């Protein structure tokens, strides 16, 4: 399935904006969290992925970004080309993730600081599922973080070159 990421990200973020900006929303609880988009206008970010699975992954990461953001925090979502890959970054200003846990957060049931996490709710499965899904889509996912400054989740996928889009190849749903 050929997906255009500019439009996809915008529609996902529209949904999060709607929830975050609506008064009395349980999810946001008026925490005044803002989403900033650094998404180019031109629809040129084509990737061969499954739209629904990708939505699930981005929902997971965005839910974490909101959950672990401080009140008044900004979540910056950007889309850019890096080499021959398309890169999505989701950066929050939350409490961050210790260095030794940067890969462990993608493990099943792993949660940084059990007591702190328990208060936030959740099972510790979100990122494990996200990583599995990203790998079935031939992408990569990792996190960079500075404690007490924030975390940035990055995802890369192979870019579908224009020549392929124009070649008339039949793209079957996988």
Choose between 126 and 139: whose C-beta lies nearer to ligand ATP: 126
Among 8, 46, 64, 87, binds Mg ion (CB under 5 A): 64
- Indicate the SS3 state at residue 118: helix
Binding partner of residue 139 among Mg ion, ligand ATP, none, CB under 5 to 8 Å per kind?
none
56, 133 contact by CB (below 8 A):
yes
Binding partner of residue 164 among ligand ATP, Mg ion, none, CB under 5 to 8 Å per kind?
none
Region of 56-64, 76-84, 89-97, 162-170 interacting with Mg ion (CB under 5 A): 56-64
| Residue ranges in 108-147 that form contacts with Mg ion under rule CB under 5 A | 126
Distance CA 167, CA 165 (A): 6
The least distance separating Mg ion from the CB of residue 4, rounded to whole angstroms, comes to: 26
Distance CA 109, CA 131 (A): 13
Work out the angle at residue 137's Cα, subtended by the Cα atoms of residues 49 and 76, and round it to the nearest 5 degrees: 75
Which own/partner contact pairs does 17-20 have at CB distance under 8 Å and 24+ positions apart? 20/66
Integer-rounded Cα radius of gyration of the chain: 17
Choose between 87 and 93: whose C-beta lies nearer to ligand ATP: 93
x-marked contacts with Mg ion along 82-111 as a string, rule CB under 5 A: ------------------------------
Q: For residue 144, what are the β-bridge partners?
A: 152
Site residues (vs ligand ATP, CB under 6 A): 64-65, 68, 92, 94-95, 97, 105, 110-112, 117, 122-128, 151
Count residues near Mg ion (CB under 5 A). Answer: 2
The least distance separating Mg ion from the CB of residue 157, rounded to whole angstroms, comes to: 21
Distance CA 164, CA 45 (A): 13
Distance CA 122, CA 60 (A): 11
- The site for Mg ion (CB under 5 A) is made up of 64, 126
């Amino acid at each position: 399935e050929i997906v255009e990421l500019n439009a996809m990200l915008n529609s996902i973020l529209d949904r999060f904006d709607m929830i975050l900006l609506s008064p009395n929303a349980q999810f946001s609880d008026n925490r005044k969290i803002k989403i900033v988009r650094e998404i180019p206008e031109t629809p040129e970010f084509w990737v061969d992925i499954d739209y629904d699975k990708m939505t699930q992954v981005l929902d997971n990461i965005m839910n974490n970004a909101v959950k672990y953001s401080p009140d008044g925090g900004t979540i910056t979502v950007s889309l850019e080309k890096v080499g021959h890959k398309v890169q999505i970054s989701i950066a929050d200003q939350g409490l961050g993730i210790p260095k030794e846990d940067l890969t462990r957060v993608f493990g099943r049931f792993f949660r940084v600081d059990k007591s702190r996490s328990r208060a936030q709710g959740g099972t510790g499965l979100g990122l494990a599922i996200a990583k599995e899904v990203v790998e079935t889509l031939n992408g990569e996912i990792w996190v960079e973080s500075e404690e007490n400054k924030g975390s940035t989740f990055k995802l890369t996928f192979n870019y579908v070159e224009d020549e392929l889009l124009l070649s008339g190849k039949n793209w079957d749903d996988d």
